[in-house]
Amino acid sequence: MILINAQASRQEKLGLFSRYVPLSIPVGIGTLAAYLIQKGHRVTIWDDAIKQLTPDDIKELVKNHVKPYLFGISCLTASITRGHSIAKQIKEIFPDSVVLFGGIHPTVLPEDTLKTGYVDFVVRKEGEVSLESLYRALKNNENYEHINNLSFNRDNKIIHNPTIPGPDMDSFPPLSLPSI
């Protein structure tokens, strides 16, 4: 699984003030990655706020992963356009890849996110359990249509599966930053 924190260009957005606005840690995708790793899955994280993802970066990211390539893109409303741009690039380079979105914007507006044609799934609300279930289903070529918190297209109709609460946060591995 490749998890991407989509962010618009800081330089374009903030101009000369970009050096004065601190970067924030993408805790959401960090938590998702920790949960998936705890379950035994390979995870790579890309933070678009640090370096804008390019087509060459996308090709490099998949080198240690097995098909089907699964890309999870986290988006706020401020970064949804960038997220769509990344999804389009991914589908152009790897048309058979699976692109899923999560975050507040896709959770609130899953239809708009799925209608782009570049997004295969939206994982709504807290995504740890649903994402791991979807990961297993896709990697094992199993049915995913029963997975809670999932929105997807089926026969040109958008399906929204029931929403369930997220897992107990105390069951997660501790979030730690690497030492420098």
What is the tens place of the pLDDT at every residue in 136-175? 999 999 999 999 999 999 998 999 999 987 666 676 666 5
Pick from 92, 94, 93, 71: nearest CA to 83: 71
Residue 179 lies in a domain: no
Residue 6 lies in a domain: yes
Residue 115 CB neighbours (<10 A): 12
Please check the confidence at residue 176 and state whether its pLDDT lies above 80: no
Residues 27-81 have pLDDT tens digits of: 888 889 988 998 999 999 999 988 999 999 999 999 989 999 999 999 988 889 9
Residue 139 lies in a domain: yes
Mean pLDDT for the stretch of residues 123-148: 94
Residue 180 lies in a domain: no
Residue 33 lies in a domain: yes
Is-above-0.75 flag for pTM? yes
Cα separation, 146 vs 123, in Å, equals 13
Buried b / exposed e along 25-53 (16+ C-beta atoms within 10 A): ebebbbbbbbbbeeeebebbbbbbbeebb
Residue 169 CB neighbours (<10 A): 9
CATH number, domain with residue 92:
3.40.50.280
Residue 177 lies in a domain: no
CA 88 to chain CA mean position, Å: 14
Place of tokens 């930053």: 177
Q: pLDDT class for 179, splitting at 50, 70, 90? A: very low
Residue 25 lies in a domain: yes
Domain count within the chain: 1
- Residues 6+ positions from 45 with CB-CB distance below 8 Å: 2, 3, 4, 5, 26, 29, 30, 33
Residue 121 lies in a domain: yes
The predicted pLDDT at position 172 comes to 65
- Domain with 118, as residue range(s), is 2-171
